[in-house]
Each structure stands twice: as structure tokens, then as C-alpha cells.
Amino acid sequence: MSNSELHSSQTHPLSAASNALEDNALSGSTGTGADQDGAQPGQPAPPPTEDQLILARAQDGDHAAFAQIYATHKRRVYSLCLRMLGNIAEAEDLTQEAFLQLHRKIATFRGDSAFSTWLHRLTINVVLMHLRRKGLNLISLDEAQDPTSEHGPHRSFGAQDTRLAGTLDRMTLEKAVEDLPAGYRLIFVLHDIEGYEHNEIASLLDCSIGNSKSQLHKARMKLRDALRAPAVEEAAK
């Protein structure tokens, strides 16, 4: 896949962020997508869909079928990598790596969840492994709650932050998300954009649920400060 192809297919990270700040479209253990529908008891199984037939062919080694899967899912995979990393070059590299991993592992997919769910988690694991190889401390334990903080009495960990919703300048929000520290950005993206629950994030990042909630709260506070600054500057003119 060429760089220009990736850029042209990029899902704007801001659109996903502003939508997800209003509500999480995903819930439960799936993290994203929905499990495949099964047949009702006593009824014959429905005929396979075109996507399922393509997947089956790809699992049997059909390169043309795999190319169709790549074309279908590349946009979402790249968008996820870019939101988690905040770096275009790294997102491009890890999109390629995710599909290399998919090519190696596609035969192991058994249909216990939707294929998009499975690929989504595979991509997240690829990104996390990349960050660990770089030696990035994803969850900084010295970011513990400070009861003397001016925000301490007002914290509501895990609650939907409606103050970040509304008519936000897209470029300002995009830059603010990109500028978040890596650990904050990861949890903000996983929770507020991708819809993962805190227990799922804790499992993915090997941290406590409380730490995930604390990091999310701090990410939101940093975003609020970053988004407030341009408005203050404009009012002072």
C-alpha cells in the first residue's frame, strides 16, 4: 500500500473523537463491532454472506480474497493506528505490520466474534508491542491521584465528560489529542473513541482499572485545558 493511498483513505481522527465524546457506540467485551449472528435453535443456519465466503477463501490461501479483505479494512486499521500513535509515518508502518500479522494468523480465526472485532484487537496488540519495543512506559505509576489537587474533590472517574462535547474546533481538538502524553492518548482513544471498558483497557495495558480511570481523567483535563486556551486568547484580543 502506498503512502498516498493511506492518506486518501484516512478517517479523520477528530470526527471519531468528537462523536465518541458524546457517547460510546461500543460496549461489552467485544470492544468494537458485534458478534456474528447465529442461527435460531431448531432452524437451519443462514447461508454464508459474501464477506464470510471471501474470508473462507483467504483462510485457504487465496491471495485475491486476502486483497479484498485488505481493501475493506485498511482504512479502519490505519485510522486506529494513527489515533493511538499520533504519528503518520509510524501509523503507516504499523498498518502494514498489522496486515502482515493478519496474513500469518488469519487461518486461526474461528468465528467466535465478528472478524472486524478480531482484527481490531490484533491491530491494538501490534501497536502495543511496538510501543513496548520502544521502551515506552505506557502507564506511569507516578501519575497517582493527588488528593490535594485543585481538581481532586470534583473528580468523577469514568463518567461521560459532556464539557468536551459540542461545537469544538476540529483542528484544535486534533492537535490537542496528538499532543497528549502517549499513555494518556492511548487510554483516551481506547475508552472515549474505540469504546473499550476500563476492565478491558486494564487487561490490554496490564494496569489496574483505577489507573485506567485516573489516566482517562487526566487526559480529559489536559484536553479541556488545551481547548480552553485558544478561546481565552481570542477573548483577550
Q: In the prediction, which pLDDT does 164 show?
A: 53
Rounded Cα distance, 200 and 209, in Å = 9
CA atoms within 13 A on the CB side of 186: 27
Q: Which residues of 1-35 are buried (b: 16+ CB within 10 A; e: fewer)?
A: eeeeebeebeeebbebbbebbeebebeeebbbbee
pTM: 0.61
- 31 pLDDT band, cuts 50/70/90, is very low
In this structure, are residues 60 and 81 in contact, taking their beta carbons and an 8 Å threshold? no
Give the cell for residue 221.
483535563
Residue scoring higher pLDDT (211 or 22): 211
pLDDT of 136 reads: 61
Instruction: Write the burial class of residue 91 (CB in 10 Å: 0-12 exposed, 13-18 middle, 19+ buried).
Output: buried
pLDDT in tens, 157-208: 455 555 554 444 566 777 788 888 888 888 998 898 888 899 988 888 888 8
**Domain architecture of the chain: domains with CATH:** 3-26+49-133 (1.10.1740.10), 141-236 (1.10.10.10)
Confidence of residue 131 (pLDDT cuts 50, 70, 90): confident
Q: Mean per-residue pLDDT for 60-85?
A: 94
